[in-house]
Structure 1
Amino acid sequence: KYDEVVEVAKQFNWVPGWAIGGVLLGLVFPLQNYNWAGFPAYVAGEVRRVERSAWIGIAGGLIVMGLWYTLLGGSIYALAGRDFHHALAWLFNNAPDKYPLPLPPYPQTYLWILYPELVWLQVVMGVLWFLSNVYLTPPNLLISSRNMFAWAFDRILPTRLTKVNEKGAPVYTVILCAIIGELVMLFVATATYQVMIMNTFIVMMIVLGIAGLTSFIFPFAKKHMYEMFPDQAKIEVAGIPLLSIAGLATAIVAFWGAYSMASAPALGALSTVSLIFNIAILLASIPVYIAAYWYNKAKLGIDLSLLFKEIPPG
């Protein structure tokens, strides 16, 4: 039924080939995968010779991931065929009653149907796809624990979370992240969880877009602070700060990624549950900050609003 899958997909408005609109909507997936390369910045203060290591970790990470996914994607097209893979995905998302398989159109699962005699292929594909997810775990652990550490350092969370061991690792934040992670794992198998987590990417992109806009206007709105930056951070292109150019580009790409995820049904789209969940994530920061502000002001005499009036924070 290999050829039949392609023909049935055509009957339901699938068009072979590619279109720029589809490519732009699909940009959300490389954004999800490649944005991890920038996260070594979260641990820059813990790295020796960071001016060298950051280039290797960030730029090198992007190059390695690009080559990895190119090899992986090219292998799938070579084994299954580009049209077959796209037609299968189209039917799964747009005409599920015509979808021929009992499982989602993931290559690592349907290739065994196409090549049942090639056991080695199944093993290789399974291992490679497994490894492609494993590399996401370390940065996730670093991001969560270091964010909590920063919040505690800024007195938004209890300062006990700033405690580190003899090697400088924030042990308490790692333990707290592990506990929260284990609780969340109880809901992993539910459909509601899948929708909520998929659409959480929208929040990530919105926040990143806001950070991009902030970077865009910062050299102009806070010029006296910008002048305090080291020379390598004040590079200009045609008289425009490189920070502003990078910030604007970041905002455009990030907001487009959020729009793609929210508007394309095949990417999950927004449901009532996921919308409430994501709005709750954004709004939860408000009562947390108010509580921290009140506690520090009333108990310790510290005004949190004054901590970020200068760079670095007081």
Structure 2
Amino acid sequence: GFVLACTGWWFILWHWVPIYANILNIEVVAPLAAILGLDSVVTFFSEPAGIFTASMIVAVLASILISLGMRTYARIQQICFYGGVVGLAVVFVLLLVNSNSDFISSFNAEAQEVLGAPGNAYQKTLEVGGLEAAGPTSLAIAPTLLLIPMIVFFNLWSNWGATLYGEVRGASDFRKNIYAMGGALIATTLVGAALLALISKTIGWDFYYAANNAYWSGLEGAPVSAWPYPGLLAAFFFDSPILQFILVAILSLWFFGWVGSVFLSSTRVVFATAFDRVLPEWAARTNKNGVPYAALALMLLPSIPISYLYAYTDDFVTYTLDATLVIAITFLGSAIAAAVLPWRRPEIYSASPIARYKILGIPLITASSVLFSVFLIFCLYKWATDDVYGVNNPQSALYMTILYVVAIIIYVVARLVRRAQGMDLKMVHGEIPAE
């Protein structure tokens, strides 16, 4: 359990700082700077120095937000959430009331003005980035199912806050957890599907594919070098750069409300491992606001050299390809532990409200955990064996394996040290704390 949690919620989040920085660059800094005509800013943040700068902005912002305490950060998140919803609603309305011909006209004009694209950029994007692959002529279930592992990269994040549930009011009621987690997944899926439908209707599916292909493949001759951010594309319906700027700025609230999560869950995991005596006691120290500042330092400081390597070393970017895969492995470990809980710790399971629920005599927690485990194993298999998902890189797999080995070494050393101090960590980890 420690090895999976340490790697999947501690080590790996060091590497998510520069990944978050990329989101900051392509969804906030680049579009806002382009609207303002600050081409030098756009260029800077696309270079190694800019990527490292953005990474430090992410790390500092996350540290500040967490140091404010959960209550204050929750208020900030609430403001960002409702503001972001307003921006998203505007995007939905713009895509709903306008047609594809309206978008083509707006895109050709604004891409030339804002992004420096040549005339008729829409058609040229289709020509440069379009794919000639033959698609199925009828309903094809198997290829559609193979899209699921790709979507899981996105859907895993809806329940990323699970490690914080001990600090959420009413978290002891598992039904509220089901509503919160299940509701998050359903809402995210429905909103995502609705946005894709509107993109297909108004922006054009072939164009959106071509624009993304041109960007991620770095195709020569592409009329637009910027990532086709849907928020910016929707903003192009406005002739006014002021309105364009306002819409993209409001949409950026999604990022600023979310940025603290890069360290938030991890600090709680570090705190818990120190509380369980695997890490030294000082790692669990908190200030008067309950902020685990030592755990925060264990996140912030290592993220700096890792961000530097990410920005200035081409190979290191490849090492991070499995950053989400590692988190899926952690989820798999949790699912397996939940499946065997009724037999491994029957007294703890029997005292839980979920013990009342069974399916054909099988504990509900076991049935659901087995199904989820099978699903995750399928996804992990496809990620590891199919090139189309873009993560089956041997270098990244080796790097992630090294992280697991480091976690094992930490645990073994902790076991030996605590044993010398007269403490058996096996007994400590044999119980589930009431918290």
CA contact (8 A) 1:145 1:173 kept: yes
What amino acid is the match of 2:326? V
- Distance of 1:105 and 1:17 partners within structure 2: 32
Mark the CA change 1:293 to 1:8 in structure 2 (over 3 Å): closer, same or farther: closer
Cα deviation 1:163-202 (Å, max 9, x = unaligned): 2222333222123212222332223334434332231222
The TM-score with structure 1 as length reference comes to 0.79
Match of 1:66 in 2: 189
CA contact (8 A) 2:287 2:293 kept: yes
CA contact (8 A) 1:157 1:292 kept: yes
- Distance of 2:249 and 2:191 partners within structure 1: 14
Match of 1:194 in 2: 317
**Greater Cα offset, 98-107 or 166-175:** 98-107
Three-state SS of the structure 2 residue aligned to 1:82 is helix
**Greater Cα offset, 83-92 or 38-47:** 83-92
Match of 1:254 in 2: 376
CA contact (8 A) 1:216 1:245 kept: yes
CA contact (8 A) 1:40 1:58 kept: no
- Distance of 1:4 and 1:140 partners within structure 2: 34
Tell me the CA shift for residue 144 of structure 1. Answer: 0.8
Tell me the CA shift for residue 40 of structure 1. Answer: 3.6
- Distance of 1:10 and 1:184 partners within structure 2: 36
Count of residues paired in the alignment? 310
CA contact (8 A) 1:262 1:269 kept: yes
Cα deviation 1:192-232 (Å, max 9, x = unaligned): 34332231222222232232233223324x26345543233
Higher RCO (CA < 8 A, seq sep 6+)? 2
Cα deviation 1:86-130 (Å, max 9, x = unaligned): 35556777x876874563763449949x97967578547744764
Match of 1:209 in 2: 332
Three-state SS of the structure 2 residue aligned to 1:187 is helix
Match of 1:84 in 2: 207
Point out where structure 2 has 5 or more consecutive residues left out of the alignment. Answer: 1-121
CA contact (8 A) 1:42 1:142 kept: no
Q: How does 1:130-279 map to 2 (within 5 A)?
A: 130-189=252-311, 190-220=313-343, 222=344, 224-225=346-347, 227-279=349-401
Residue 311 of structure 1 pairs with residue 432 of structure 2: yes
- Distance of 1:118 and 1:193 partners within structure 2: 41
What amino acid is the match of 1:41? A
Three-state SS of the structure 1 residue aligned to 2:380 is helix
CA contact (8 A) 1:6 1:83 kept: no
Mark the CA change 1:73 to 1:134 in structure 2 (over 3 Å): closer, same or farther: farther
Match of 1:43 in 2: 164
- Distance of 2:129 and 2:257 partners within structure 1: 37
Point out where structure 1 has 5 or more consecutive residues left out of the alignment. Answer: none
Tell me the CA shift for residue 309 of structure 1. Answer: 2.5
